[in-house]
Amino acid sequence: MNLPSAHPLASGKTSNSLLVRSYLGEKTESKAIWLMRQAGRSLPEYRKVREGVAMLDSCLRPELAAEITMQPVRRHKVDAAIFFSDIVVPLKLAGVDVEIAPGIGPVLENPIRTRADFERLEELDPASLAPITEAIGLITAELGETPLIGFGGAPFTLASYLIEGGPSKELPVSRAMMANDPDLWNDILAWTARVTATFIRGQVLAGASALQLFDSWAGRLGLEDYKKFAAPHSKAVMDSLLDLPVSRVHFGVQTKDLLAEMYGVGATVMGVDYETPLDEANRILGGKVPLQGNINPDFLFKPWAELEAHVRDVIARGESAPGHVVNLGHGVPPETDPDVITKMVALVHGDI
């Protein structure tokens, strides 16, 4: 499928950006950097515009979502914006009663745990993405040659929220369903795959120059369970997006043992958590895959000399890969001093 003629990649606006070229495996004149959760609670301007507005409401107000997306680009001079939203937004747009509880995360009043529960789910109507596409139009107009990254939640992670009713470290209900009702499990994940694929497609067609699939909880599965219960559904998402000529990043935490399988579902770039050194990730992936990562967020709170040494080490290890986009190995902690991030971005760019 061709992108719309006004799309930043089709028009050439973002084609020569550090991010797009690095994702394609090029060695660029300086490193591209963006940060997961760069838009959010670490920024005072974010906290100000979010006052009195519920999280999911802020995602669905186009002008507000656009403003929040742009804040870290203006402040930190990062090389990409990541669309401000949440992986459960498409669930809400599909009619699921989900909210973001402050300090907890996504919570559902009525989890999906039986066949009857599942049969009440509705497909996501692409027309419901109008607030998303409107926001992206505003964002890309301001970004110019800086690319926007679209994203969605991988089916396993989305399904874990649907089934557990909220965040869960042990995923007891999900594990029981995998063992005792695999047909229902697979039907739920096939639905989440369709929903998140529709969500991502809408973002790309509206102007995103790359996409990232987040599988936040994948690392809680062993390799064999990941291959059996999660990977086929992530592959379904990636397969449904193959016609879109954008790079596809795949990321999860505690996923060292899953990296090859996660790449194999159809990623073109692998995000690497901070527990796996980039040179080791490159070895695991055969030296052929562009990488993204993987500064340890804990170092954002250490003395500058320690952070600088760590960042330089990450960059050095990333040199082994065909292309490298610098990022954190997880998201920006809300307590982070924004000035530290700005200085770190300047370091990566070679400006200090």
CA distances (Å), 289 to each of 259, 265, 269, in order? 11, 13, 6
Strand partners, 153: 214
Catalytic residue among 46, 79, 86, 194: 86
| 116-145 per-residue burial string, b: 16 or more CB within 10 A, e: under 16 | eebeebeebeeebbebbbbbbebbbeebee
Strand extents, DSSP E, the chain: 32-33, 81-82, 98-101, 105-108, 148-153, 210-214, 247-251, 269-271, 291-295, 324-328
Q: Is 50 a catalytic residue?
A: yes
Closest by CA to 232, choosing from 253, 261, 257, is 261
Instruction: Report d(CA 314, CA 326) in Å as an integer.
Output: 8
Altogether, the residues listed in the chain come to a count of: 352
Instruction: Report d(CA 175, CA 37) in Å as an integer.
Output: 29
Instruction: Report d(CA 204, CA 150) in Å as an integer.
Output: 6
Closest by CA to 215, choosing from 176, 267, 177, is 267
Instruction: Report d(CA 40, CA 32) in Å as an integer.
Output: 20
Q: Is 47 a catalytic residue?
A: no
- Structural contact between residues 339 and 330, judged by C-beta atoms closer than 8 angstroms: no
Give the pair of three-digit tokens for residue 13. Answer: 């606006």
The type of residue at 172 is: P
Q: Is 220 a catalytic residue?
A: no
As a 3-state breakdown, the chain gives helix, strand, coil percent values, each rounded to 5, of 50, 10, 40
Catalytic residue among 46, 75, 113, 161: 161
Q: Is 41 a catalytic residue?
A: yes
Catalytic residue among 41, 61, 187, 257: 41
Catalytic residue among 21, 37, 75, 194: 37
Catalytic residue among 50, 61, 181, 257: 50
Instruction: Just list the catalytic residues.
Output: 37, 41, 50, 86, 161
